[in-house]
Each structure stands twice: as structure tokens, then as C-alpha cells.
Amino acid sequence: QVQLVESGGGSVQSGGSLRLSCAAFGSTYVSFAMSWFRQAPGKEREGVAAIDSDGSAVYADSVKGRFTISQDNAKNTLYLQMNSLKPEDTAMYYCAADYIPSYYSGDYYLRSANYNYWGQGTQVTVSS
């Protein structure tokens, strides 16, 4: 069993930055793929960034060049550094984890159906 706890959300103005954290509890953390998703009111949950089985970062086109995903295995923590935030980045941000076979790559890691473990979410609000 894996438990995920997000933190770091808040309200910022357009152009600002936030850093989200996701603490993972459970012995399988190291072998799991970890990712960030977001969901705005009235919209579907979308993948934002993930770290694949090779340790490479995968990003949605909408956040490339602005967001950076990273992880600290010693602390069992996943991070999302968000810079140059825009009002359209406003959403509830969720951390997700699950085992994904290494023969998958790229956008497979940004599909919510491929994850069974989810955090409770942290709200990010960007004002113009």
C-alpha cells in the first residue's frame, strides 16, 4: 500500500512560482512511477508531469519549459517546481503513483487510468 500526501499549493499572481511536494509512504516507492496531475473545475483530470521507469521526465506540452519534476528518493518525496504560472494553471494538483512496466514510455505516464494510488490534492490558484 502506498500513501501520498501533497503540500505546497497556494495562491499566486500570474508569472509567479510555487513548489509542490508529494511525500510517499510505503515500501514500494522506489519501484513506482510517480507523476503529477491536475483537475480544474468542470474539466477532466490531465497529466502534467511524470518520471518514467528510466528516471526521465515527461511533460505535458502546456507546461514544458515552465514546470520541472524531480524526486528525492532518500526523502521519498516528489516535487513539482512551477514557474511562470498562468491563470490557466489554476487547478487541484494531485500526486499519483503506481508500478508501470519499463516497456512503456512517454505519454503513457500521463494517463490517469494507469495509476491506482492518489493523494488528496493541493489547490493552486493563479490570478491575473
How far apart CA 109 and CA 28 sit, in angstroms, is: 17
How far apart CA 115 and CA 35 sit, in angstroms, is: 9
Give the CA radius of gyration of the chain.
Answer: 14
pLDDT by 10s per residue, the chain, length 128: 889 999 999 999 999 999 999 999 886 556 788 999 999 999 999 999 999 878 889 999 999 999 999 999 888 899 999 999 999 999 999 999 998 988 888 999 999 999 999 999 999 999 99
